[in-house]
Every structure is written in C-alpha cells, then in structure tokens.
Amino acid sequence: MIRFEQVSFRYADTAAPALQGVDIEVPEGELCLVVGPSGVGKSTLLGAVSGLVPHFTGGHLTGRVTVAGRDTRTHRPRELADVVGTVGQDPLSHFVTDTVEDELAYGMESLGIAPETMRRRVEETLDLLGLAELRDRPIATLSGGQQQRVAIGSVLTVHPRVLVLDEPTSALDPGAAEEVLAVLQRLVHDLGTTVLLAEHRLERVVQYADQVILLPSPGAPPVVGAPADIMAVSPVHPPVVALGRLAGWSPLPLSIRDARRAAGPLRERLADRTPGTSGPAAPGELLVCAERLGVRRGRVEALRGVDLAVRAGETVALMGRNGAGKSTLLSTLVGLHTPAAGTVTVGGAVPHRTRPAELLRRVGLVPQEPRDLLYADTVDAECAAADRDAAAPPGTCRGLVAELLPGIPGDVHPRDLSEGQRLSLALAIVLTASPPVLLLDEPTRGLDYAAKSRLVGQLRALAAAGHAIVLATHDVELAADLAHRVVILADGEIVADGPAADVVLSSPAFAPQTAKVLAPAPWLTVTQVTRALEATP
Amino acid sequence: MTPPTPPRTGRPGANLHAGAWWIWALGLATAASRTTNVLLLALLTAVAGYVVAARRTDAPWARSYGTFLRLGLAVLAIRLVFAIVLGSPIPGTHTLFTLPEVPLPGWAQGVRLGGRVTAESVVFALRDGMKLATLLVCVGAANSLANPARLLKSLPGALYEAGVAVVVAMTFAPHLVADVARLRAARRLRGRDDRGVRAMLQVGLPVLEGALERSVALAAAMDARGYGRTADVPPAVRRTTAALTVGGLLGICAGTYGLLAAGGAGAGYGLPLLLLGLAAAVAGLRLGGRRSPRTRYRPDAWGARAWLVAGSGAAVAAAMIAAATYAPAALDPPAVPLAAPTLPLWPAACVLLGLLPAVAAPKGALR
C-alpha cells in the first residue's frame, strides 16, 4: 500500500539529510507505528506519504514514494486526497469549517462526491466515532478528545485507504486516548484501512501495532520489524517493555496481559520487599493554600470549592480529564484569574492582588506552550532579559540553563530548539527569580522518553532543594515517577487527594503500567523495581 | 445545579437560507440609507435588535452582534468629535460653546480647528453618524443570524475557492485576539506588566509569527484534503469560458459607462450592452464551474420562510424608497432651523414590516 524505495530527503536550508536510505513497505490493512527520539524525522516520514513533503515543505527528495500505486512526486497532495487522509499534531489547525457536520463533509465536497453518498457517509461516520450527539456543535466548543475524533472523522468520510496520524493521543487524557485508539483499531480490523502513526506515548499504542518503524537517530536508516523485536533494541520504549527487559522475559511482552502472565516469578521475588518510601523528607512550611476556591470563566464555573495545600519540598500532580479545570487552577495560583469565591495564598501573597514583578519571586509557572514565555531572538538575549526581569545578577539564568541541560548553544533562536531544550530554557527563566513554588502545565507533551527522564531528574532535584512543585499532567507514568501526592480534578471539583501510590493504584485509568503488571503489590515505576532488585540479590 | 446546555447551531433539516437573512438585513440597511430622521433610524435599529434577540443561536458567530453595536456607537462618537473639533459647514445660530480656535497657516485654508460649535452642526453630525451606525447594526444583525460561511454554499462553483479564502481570512481575527490574550498572560509570568503600548509591541511579533505558522499549517491541511482539485476540461470549453468572462466584464463596463455618462450620450446602447455583458459573465462563471468537481453537502433550501424573511426586508427598503420621493421632508428633515423630529406615520409602519422574521423564521434553527 505504501512503498518507500531508497528515499532520502534534505530540507532546503540544512546540510544534513532528514531521512536517508528509507526502504520500507507497508502492506494493506496494517497498523504501522513510527517510533524514535524527537527530531529524528518522524513527521517528515509521515509527510512524505501524504505528499506534503516535498510539495509543501520544499527540500530535496530522492528515490520514490508510492501510495496505492501513485507516485507522490507526480501527484500533489490534493491529488492524493482520495487515498490518503492526514491528521497533523494540532487538530485545531486542521479545521476549515466551523461545525462538526460541515467539517465531516468538507473533504467529500472537494472530491465531488454525490450529495446522497455524502449524506450517508456523514451519518455512518458520526456513528462510527460516536459523534452523533455533537453533529451541529461549533468545533471551537468541543474538548480536545472530541476535536481529535472530529479531525479523524473528517478524513475518514472520504474513505481513504491510508490514514496518516501524527501524535494523535499526545494531548489527550487517558480516557480520550483510549477512545481514539479504539476507533483506529476498528478501522484497521473492520475496514482494512492502513494506518501509519507516530507517537511518543508508546505505552498507549505499541500493543496495537502490527509493524514498527524505528528511526534510531537523525539521518540513520530506519529499522523495520515486528513490535516485540524492535522494542527489544529500541532506545525509546514503554515501561512494560523496560520491565520485560529487566526481568529478561522472552518473548518480550507489549501488553499488560502478556506481561502479567510472565510476571509470576518476578512478583514472587518482590514479595518480601517494599518500594522505597515516597514523600518528602520532612514536611516544610505551607506554601500554597487554597480554601473553598471558586473560579468562573465566562458563564462556566471552572472551579468549585477547591481546597489545596502544598508544602515546601512536596511534588503534587494534578490529573483529570481535558477541561476538568487543571490549567485554570494553575493560572489562578499565579493571579491570571480572580477567584469568584474562597481564598488563595501563594508564598504568603494573594496572587491576583500582587504586582507581576513581585509575584515572580514567590511563584513561577511554565505554561503548556513554553514558547509563549520566549520573546527574544537568541537564547542568550532571552537569558539576559530574564535576569533583568528578576533583578538577578547577570548570568544567573544562563548558569541555570547550563545546569539543567548542558550544551544549549547561546546564539540560536529559541524556536529552533527541540521541545525538550525549549522546556529547559523556559524552566530556567522561571527559576531565575528563585520562586519557592514552581508550577508546570502539561510539561511532557511532545517530549521523548530521554527528555522526560531528564525533566524528572531536574524536578526531583528542585523538590529536594525545598521547592514546592505542582504539575498538571495527563501522563500517568510521569505522575507515578515524580509525585508525592496526586490530586484528581473532575468538572472543577477535587475528587481525590492523597499519596501518589494510593490514588493511582485505586483507579485503572490512572495506574501506571508497572503497577498494573505487579498488582496488588504497590510498585509504581520500573526504577523502584530495579532498585529493589539491586539492593538484595 | 443543572449542567449548562451545550451551544447548538441548528436543528438539522430546518435551516433558513443564509441568503434570506442577508437580503432582509440589506433591505433594512437600504432603508436606513434613505433617511436621516433620528426617530426612524432608532426604529430600524430597534427592529433589527429585536429580531436578533428573538432568533439568534448560541454559536460563536452569533455573539458578533454586540461587537457591531459597539462599533456603531464608536462611529457615532467619532463623527461627533470631528464635527465639534473641525467645525462644520452647516450655518447655525444657536451657539452651544466656543472652543479655542487654533490659527492655521495660509495653505490650510478652508480647514478650521476649534471655534464656535453650534447646536445645528451637532444635530447634523448626530444624524449623519446615526445613519452610519444603523447601517453597521444591520450588517451585524445579518452576521449574527446567518453564519457567513453558510453563504459560501450558495456561491457559484467557479467562485467557491476565492470565497473559502475570504472566510478563512475572516476567522483569523478571533484567533489573533485569543493569541494576544494568551501572550499577555505569559508576560505576567515573566514579571512584566501586561498593559501599555510597550507590552502590546513586544507581544505583537510573536502573535504575527504564530498567525503565520497557523496559516501555513491550515493551507497544508486544506491541500491534503483536496482543496483546489480541478477536473479535466476540454480546451475548447476553457477557451470559451475565458472569452465569455472577459467579454462579459467588458460589456458590463461599457454598459455602465453608457448609462452613467453625462448628457445621455450612450443612453441608447447602455442598457442592452449592460444586460448582454451580465449574461455573458454569468454564462462564463457557470461554464467555469465545470473545472471544479466540487459538490455540495446539504445546501440550504429556499423555502416559504426564506421568501417571507427576504420579502420583509425588501418591502421595508421599497417602502422607504417610495416614501423618499413623495414625503422627502419627513424622511430628511432640514437641520436648519432646529426642530424636534416627528415620526412620519406611514414610513414608520412600513419599517415595522421588518419584524416579520421574528415570527416567520424558525426559532433556534438558524445558521
């Protein structure tokens, strides 16, 4: 169905090739997963299938890419629109019309499909994706998961034989991600659609893949094979694979079910051990305190009666559905929203009544899109500005950047940094004023496992140094790895607040893979298991 | 507490044609352009406002009415300020107050800054401004009652792609506003003030960068979804299309010139040429539509309700035009001497015809 023959690709303004020696065939009806660290060219590979590379991006492509027998060199993306459906990373930039039903019909209208057929297919797709309730809603009012489903639906109505998806679940909460993956499963099994999918959160998708394409490093030829074989050597892998490698299971399990079947001996070995205690060494002073907090955004009550207390040295993970009020809570803590009810104090100050320059010393927030914090043309200029904003001695911010992630050059534009580097820069800027309270909104979106584990290390060190950290995240593995306490928000209210282990173990949606494999014992992360096994042979 | 009901844009199958709303609104606007009677203008605004209040939905574009209302008020205020500061050619005897006059050099003859402000000039400016404001309110009413994107469905195929470009450009403004709000919030996080000119300037560049990136992403997505696909057309048809379109446009130009030329020099051939040109251009557009293979999903049907809505707007416009010829003094009362405006009975009754859509249009089933 998709065939790459000796394909190399180089962007116009770079010397090194983005892809090299790609020789792949994806047969019809397969779910094929593209994995690799960030910046290795996964999006480029996907773009080459839909023809956007090189028709839209420019650059130089050698070799041949054919999709359903059509050469992408001679067919522009619009001429491939009836065989390839593409959904990019951000569903919002994909929408042309403004209501769900029109959006589903848009692609078919462009292809000139007969009105009766369109009508039937829209109804079928609404049912297939569970969107019937939303058919005449404006797209702007939908949640992230719903938007992702509409984006998939909008390319499905054309009945493409190939579906190309770039990180379809990265921005979604665990429940919404399951919804989207269930739909993809159905397409592959019921309609024989070929799906090509890139994703960082392998724990969510790898068990569904028929074939995995691993791009080990930029410009290196890809390795193609069965998921279990590739995962055995891949530098990026989900926790269940890490556990399998650690315990030496063969064949390597990819799903929780397979892992549990193999895990009997491991559970016995671990039976008389307990995971290291989680929790700060000693509870410090109370830094964040919200009582009966209520916040309204327009006509919507975004938060209701929220009580939250965070002490120095503590790390708290806020979890919950898209739109549950996590970001609103963080924004309220830095004074971006004025509470409608209740009180909030952060580091002794009332955030919405404190001047920004003063508040900077008490609390810092790294927003969902770290790029929003960056204005300057170079990293060095950004750091100098941060020193001035915080009235810190010159060089403070640059020093922090070097400490957090060595090797970020000073003269590059912040936009040209990788996601992980950009996050480290934003973190350093916020830390320049040395606020005792640090807030992070969805910090692992778009990060690969290596960048994620670096972030975990950085945040652990900060917590140990006495910072109070609150992070909003959908990433159950991150929360299990890092948080002392987990707070679950639903519909603007706190529905659970307790030690991380207790909260995540009590709900399957929020339990990390290690916990599911080793239940009922309270192991949360592979690191814990490794340490326990090393401690006593 | 009951959960808020999700906004809906319409019950399927019961949509009023978007064009009907636009004809109704343009009818009211035409009526407004024919009068400077403050009472009639206020009545027109009230009619448009009542219909919007009675029949608009919760969709995002339905909220644009308030924006247009504020825009109208701003226009009114600007018109007044200009009349007061720059003076007005209206001769008046009732001096309200006198501003200090700024002496201007000789080359600025005819321009006055400050000076005497008369009640007559203020009243004149008020009426003029109100006319403009009413026009804006009428357009705003159409905008909030009918989704502008729905109008596209009724465009001829050959113009569709240009239409999409326009609509996409229009949706950019709300995105920009959201971006500015987000980046200003981010400025606070850096410990800088989020108000003032400096703040806006520093936010400006990232906002434009973001807008540019988003438009490139959208263009890529549209291309990948088949936007701009063309069907193969025989060369003869293509050449005929070009000839008809260009010939038609030339005919329209020449015909219009003939009609408007002073002295009626071309009155004889003006009208036929204009009609011929129009016919050729329409034929060219229809033929050009063959190049685009696009079909339409659930186009709005033009039913009895659409006739009623469009008809009420057209009736208001026709009545006002007729009234302007037989009772010009009532519709356009002189500013000098000052007099309290009176409400002419028959034109006012005709304006009330514009209320028909508040009953005739299906409730909550609008797009």
Q: Which DSSP string do the residues of A29-89 spell out, in sequence order?
A: T-EEEEE-STTSSHHHHHHHHHTHHHHTT--EEEEEEEETTEETTTS-HHHHTTTEEEE-S
B6 touches A: beta carbon within 8 Å: yes
The answer to whether B218 contacts A137, with C-beta atoms less than 8 Å apart, is no
pLDDT at B10: 45
Q: Would B316 be classed as within a structural domain?
A: yes
Q: Would B189 be classed as within a structural domain?
A: yes
- The verdict on B65 and B92 lying in the same domain is yes
Of B10, B221, B228, the CB nearest to A88: B221
- The verdict on B147 and B172 lying in the same domain is no
Adjacency order of strands within the sheet including A2-10: A19-26, A2-10, A60-67, A70-71
Listed in sequence order, the residues at least 6 apart from A63 whose beta carbon sits closer than 8 Å to its beta carbon are: A4, A5, A6, A7, A8, A22
pLDDT < 70 regions, chain A: 276-282, 536-537
pLDDT at A330: 93
The answer to whether B189 contacts A334, with C-beta atoms less than 8 Å apart, is yes
A137 touches B: beta carbon within 8 Å: yes
A141 touches B: beta carbon within 8 Å: yes
pLDDT at B3: 43
> Which domains does chain A carry?
2-235 (3.40.50.300), 238-272+513-537 (no CATH), 286-512 (3.40.50.300)
A118 touches B: beta carbon within 8 Å: yes
B116 touches A: beta carbon within 8 Å: no
A430 touches B: beta carbon within 8 Å: yes
The distance of A93 to chain B (nearest Cα, Å) reads 5
- The verdict on B23 and B109 lying in the same domain is yes
pLDDT at B263: 53
B201 touches A: beta carbon within 8 Å: no
The distance of A351 to chain B (nearest Cα, Å) reads 11
pLDDT at A311: 92
Listed by number, the residues of chain B in 160-199 with a beta carbon closer than 8 Å to a beta carbon of chain A are 164, 168, 171, 182-183, 185-194
Which of B174, B205, B224 is a domain's end point?
B224
**Cα–Cα distance measured from residue A209 to residue A197, given in angstroms and rounded to the nearest whole number:** 9
Which of B224, B250, B269 is a domain's end point?
B224
- The verdict on B132 and B43 lying in the same domain is yes
Report helix, strand and coil shares of chain A as percent, to nearest 5: 40, 20, 35
Write the ipTM.
0.82
**Cα–Cα distance measured from residue A328 to residue A298, given in angstroms and rounded to the nearest whole number:** 12
pLDDT at B13: 41
The answer to whether B296 contacts A115, with C-beta atoms less than 8 Å apart, is yes
Question: Are A470 and A483 spatial neighbours (Cβ–Cβ below 8 Å)?
Answer: no
CA separation, residue B344 to residues A171, B134, B207, B351 (Å): 62, 18, 52, 11
- The verdict on B333 and B279 lying in the same domain is no
Q: Would B338 be classed as within a structural domain?
A: yes
**Cα–Cα distance measured from residue A6 to residue A134, given in angstroms and rounded to the nearest whole number:** 45
Which of B224, B243, B269 is a domain's end point?
B224
Q: Would B3 be classed as within a structural domain?
A: no
Q: Would B53 be classed as within a structural domain?
A: yes
For residue A84, the cross-strand partners are A162
- The verdict on B61 and B116 lying in the same domain is yes
Residue of A52, A98, A369 for testing the chain B interface, max B β-carbons within 10 Å:
A98
Interior angle at CA A412, CA A409 and CA A414, nearest 5: 105
Residue of B64, B151, B189, B290 for testing the chain A interface, max A β-carbons within 10 Å:
B189
The answer to whether A77 contacts B223, with C-beta atoms less than 8 Å apart, is yes
pLDDT at A471: 94
Residue of B168, B180, B225 for testing the chain A interface, max A β-carbons within 10 Å:
B225
The answer to whether B205 contacts A96, with C-beta atoms less than 8 Å apart, is no
Residue numbers in B near A107 (CB within 8 A): 225-226
CA separation, residue B72 to residues A482, B27, B41, B133, B253 (Å): 55, 18, 13, 4, 34
pLDDT at A278: 57
- The verdict on B309 and B217 lying in the same domain is no
- Helix or strand or coil: residue A223? strand
- The verdict on B101 and B123 lying in the same domain is yes
- The verdict on B23 and B124 lying in the same domain is yes
Listed by number, the residues of chain A in 245-304 with a beta carbon closer than 8 Å to a beta carbon of chain B are 299-300
Question: Are B346 and B323 spatial neighbours (Cβ–Cβ below 8 Å)?
Answer: yes
pLDDT at B152: 72
The answer to whether A78 contacts B229, with C-beta atoms less than 8 Å apart, is yes
The answer to whether B297 contacts A115, with C-beta atoms less than 8 Å apart, is yes
Of A50, A115, A365, the CB nearest to B224: A50
The answer to whether A136 contacts B296, with C-beta atoms less than 8 Å apart, is no
pLDDT at A281: 59
The distance of A367 to chain B (nearest Cα, Å) reads 8
- The verdict on B135 and B38 lying in the same domain is yes
Nearest CA in chain A to B60: A138
Q: Would B74 be classed as within a structural domain?
A: yes
A106 touches B: beta carbon within 8 Å: yes
Per the structure, the count of domains in chain B is 3
- The verdict on B32 and B141 lying in the same domain is yes
pLDDT at B366: 38
- The verdict on B314 and B244 lying in the same domain is no
Sign of CA dihedral B88, B91, B94, B95: positive
Q: Would B9 be classed as within a structural domain?
A: no
Residue numbers in A near B192 (CB within 8 A): 356-357, 389
Domain that holds residue B254: 235-291
Of A78, A112, A113, the CB nearest to B223: A78
Q: Would B190 be classed as within a structural domain?
A: yes
Per-residue pLDDT of chain B (367 residues; tens, 9 = 90+): 334 444 444 444 456 888 899 999 999 999 998 888 899 999 999 999 999 988 887 777 777 788 889 999 999 999 999 888 887 777 778 888 888 888 878 777 777 787 888 888 888 899 999 999 999 999 899 888 887 777 777 777 777 777 777 777 766 776 777 788 888 888 888 888 766 777 777 788 888 888 888 888 888 888 888 888 887 788 888 888 889 888 988 988 888 887 776 555 555 777 788 888 889 988 888 888 887 778 888 887 888 889 999 999 999 999 998 888 888 888 888 777 777 888 888 889 999 999 999 888 876 543 3
The answer to whether A84 contacts B224, with C-beta atoms less than 8 Å apart, is yes
